[in-house]
Homo-oligomer: A and B are copies of this chain.
Amino acid sequence: MKSNSQLSLALHLLLHMADMEEPVTSGLLASAMNTNPVVIRRLMGGLREHGIVQSRKGHHGGWTLSRPLAELTLRDVYLALGGGPLLSLTHRTQNPDCLIEQAVNETLDGAFRDAEALLLARFADLSLAALQSRIHAAIHSPAHLCA
């Protein structure tokens, strides 16, 4: 399948928004990310339902963070995006009666679970504030947004 880059996109968006005073429109964010406003709105919609961002319609509307980055971890963002699959390997379930298939898949699942758990634990240890400070050390105009 086509590989999933929503987490990368979401983080990029949130970090940009953190440096903005005013609400930012999906149009502006989209052109900075070289994508389409609807893609942004869809993704942000998910984050809004988890209390991460807020939106306002109409004039001077747009998107703002609804809690400080220090209270947000990569894990929160990943889960708010729906917590989709982390691994690209699946197992075949063509004939569930086959004992070999069962044994193979149980074994693989064990390894998969461990890798996923490790990744989630890593995500939980990374706050967006940490990312942000790393970025601010490198950038000197915080509110920059490629339009």
**Cα–Cα distance between A146 and B94 once the two chains are bound (Å):** 11
Judged by DSSP, the binding face of A is helix
Question: Which B residues touch A11, using CB under 8 A?
Answer: 104, 108
**Cα–Cα distance between A13 and B107 once the two chains are bound (Å):** 15
For A135, give the chain B residue with the smallest CB separation: B103
The interface size bin for chain A is 35 or more
**Cα–Cα distance between A82 and B88 once the two chains are bound (Å):** 14
Instruction: Judge if A134 is at the interface, Cβ distance under 8 Å.
Output: yes
Whether B91 pairs with A1 at a CB distance below 8 angstroms is no
Inter-chain pairs besides A4-B89, A99-B139, A115-B118, 17 sampled, C-beta below 8 Å? A3-B85, A3-B88, A3-B89, A5-B92, A8-B89, A8-B91, A12-B92, A12-B100, A32-B95, A34-B94, A84-B88, A85-B88, A87-B87, A103-B135, A107-B126, A111-B122, A114-B119
